[in-house]
Structure 1
Amino acid sequence: YVAGLQVLVRSVVSGTEPVVLPSIAHGGRFAASDVIEATDALGPGPRYTALVPTQLSDLLDADAAAARALASFDAVLIGGQALAPALAERAAAAGVRIVRTYGSSETAGGCVYDGAPLDGVRLRVEAGEVQVAGPTLADGYLGDPALTAAVFPVDADGVRWYRTGDAGSVDDGMLRITGRIDNVIVSGGVNVSLDRVERAVRTVPALVAAVVVGVPDARWGEASAIVVAGDVDEAAALAAARARVEAEVGGAARPAHLLTVAEMPLLASGKPDRRALAAHARAALSAGT
């Protein structure tokens, strides 16, 4: 949500007038027609917008006019979740200039762009966890000093860091995120990162917008399930996904199931509702469907 606020802040700082999507202004849902209308209403000056990958995919799927609207921006900031390589390639082919952003409410939104931190932002990796320092950090959590102390530790030099909960690496100053530390299942005694599985799954053409969730498994304790919206050849897609995951992550990480839903449930931010999807997968598998 802070990313939405930052769109307004950037407009003010750059001296331009922000344009609000008509339907969103009245409590409606994100729609390609609104993006086209809002883009046409933009005045002179730099043109930027910020989307999550699901919204980018919806616009590229909509029509040529929506793709042209996206291509008219100086840059389209993409954040909130990992951008699938296939979706990035589609955007590039349509002439859309994508900038990947990384940040959170605790960092006042994006503080790393295409892997490079903003001036004054510092990065480190401690025990596999990405941590951030710098002037963009929040003061803490209102009314919760214990949580604040746990999430914002101060090192021996007095530098205050934010523990992101993300796994990753920093090489030559460039950040690479590999997934959430806590988004891990234990399948047959092997730790499996669902984020790594999902990235591999999304390289399968039919599964570029799929979500991978953990589900109980009678034999292995836990397993992963792919959930995708729309009509797909489930057997073929699952076989392709299992082969891709085995090659990129390992045999123990291969998804056990593939489920389809009529429509992907989304949070108000536009991200997939992973809790709802996990609950749906558990219920469907329990019922044998």
Structure 2
Amino acid sequence: MTRTLRVVDARHPGAVLDGLRDALEGGPAIAPRADDRAPADLPGTVPQAVSLVVETSGSSGRPKRVALSSDAVLAGAAAADGALMGPGQWVLALPAHYVAGLNVLVRSLAAGTEPALLAPGHFDPRAFVDAAAGLDHPTRYSSLVPAQLATALDAAEADPVVAEALRRFDAVLIGGQATPATLVGRARRLGVTVVRTYGSSETSGGCVYDGVPVGRTRVEVVDGQVELGGPSLAEGYLDDPERTAAAFVMRDGLRWYRTGDAGTVSSDGVLTVSGRIDDVIVSGGEKVSLGVVERAVREQPGLADAVVVRAAHARWGEVPVVVTAAAPPPSGAADDLAALRRAVAVVAGRAAAPDRIVRVDVVPLLPSGKPDRVALTRLVRDLAAS
């Protein structure tokens, strides 16, 4: 059996909310997009179980269309409520075609509350505060990416009204990419309750909070790769059986999603993600995780937005390169790089020390809000060739 699939323009979050409501009640499935154009290869129908199709390019590679059931997204909402302070009212500050933004809408529908919807585009802390002022439920949440949190904290440190608005949230979920510990520390010093989330479109969004799986989510590390199981898993990739078979596997009678992330689970069950498995380079004969390097770089003052990519090197084979929109310090780029190399080497070894820092006006982002690593890798390559 099948059901109709229709495109919904995510530039109008209210339309996505209405479409989700219909889809979860058995109406047409929806595919939220950043515009109103339906791709030529998007089917007009989907399997009956599918309510939501989320297109994502991840951090690299060709786009994927993740097919999610009503049961999966509602299981994710229930798990979140159980891990937080129960059902509440949300401010939507993320794109409504991004799974974290869609989660805000699904959780609002599940809770029977009306979300405050920010207009898509540049994140404005004042608009965020105004939206929060309109909430009337005693339990309040929002979801941000690290760059938005940093912008909000900058405003809060200069304006007590913004600070108080942030403190009134029972939780501000932070996901989409690794969140620097320094950023979390800034938030907590201001009294802002932040929860770091881990997950993806394939898991109906965040299903691990501060390293701990929520609800019936299960986490295992198999051959160094993080695998996630539980009721919030996607059906698979729409019309892509090969990718589905590679990413979703059965083991011990349970279905698992192979995340492509490297990580470890502590003896008390806390997950630590160290980076992408395919982001390991060999530099001078030593393996270097770009994810580990990136986390170390982001802990340095002024480099919270940094992205670390690979680059070819005549002597070492490949090396890490830092890309950032931050302005160089008064001391000069050479001193800046030397200090950064020392700091990273202490954490990750000499082979992990960045080869150079590339300054850009703006770090390019994917529609999900994650850095566009493909574009940045190409930029670094082209600069080296010029």
Equivalents in 1 of 2:322, 2:175: separation in Å?
Answer: 22
Q: CA RMSD in A?
A: 1.5
| Matched position secondary structure for 2:327 | coil
Count of residues in correspondence between the two structures:
282
Is the alpha carbon distance of 1:159 and 1:104 closer, same or farther for their aligned partners in structure 2, counting shifts above 3 Å? same
Is the alpha carbon distance of 1:73 and 1:176 closer, same or farther for their aligned partners in structure 2, counting shifts above 3 Å? same
Pairs within 5 Å for 1:1-289: 1-21=98-118, 23-24=119-120, 28-62=121-155, 63-64=158-159, 65-155=161-251, 157-171=252-266, 172-233=268-329, 234-287=333-386
Specify every segment of 5 or more residues in structure 2 that has no aligned partner in the other structure, as ranges.
1-97
Equivalents in 2 of 1:61, 1:158: separation in Å?
Answer: 48
Q: Could you tell me the TM-score, scaled by structure 2's length?
A: 0.70
Structure 1 residue 36: Cα displacement: 1.8
Equivalents in 2 of 1:88, 1:264: separation in Å?
Answer: 21
For the 8 Å contact 1:47–1:75, the answer to whether it is kept is yes
Equivalents in 1 of 2:336, 2:379: separation in Å?
Answer: 19
For the 8 Å contact 2:323–2:357, the answer to whether it is kept is yes
Equivalents in 2 of 1:71, 1:286: separation in Å?
Answer: 48
Residues 134-193 of structure 1 deviation map (CA, whole Å, 9 limit, x = unaligned): 1111111111222212211112x3211110111111122221111111112221222211
| Matched position secondary structure for 1:160 | strand
Q: Could you tell me the TM-score, scaled by structure 1's length?
A: 0.92
Letter in 1 for 2:127: D
| Matched position secondary structure for 1:7 | helix
Structure 1 residue 238: Cα displacement: 1.4
Structure 1 residue 245: Cα displacement: 1.1
What is residue 30 of structure 2 aligned with on the other side? none
Equivalents in 1 of 2:307, 2:344: separation in Å?
Answer: 14
Is the alpha carbon distance of 1:109 and 1:35 closer, same or farther for their aligned partners in structure 2, counting shifts above 3 Å? same
Letter in 2 for 1:158: G
Is the alpha carbon distance of 1:210 and 1:14 closer, same or farther for their aligned partners in structure 2, counting shifts above 3 Å? same
| Matched position secondary structure for 2:318 | strand
For the 8 Å contact 1:200–1:241, the answer to whether it is kept is no
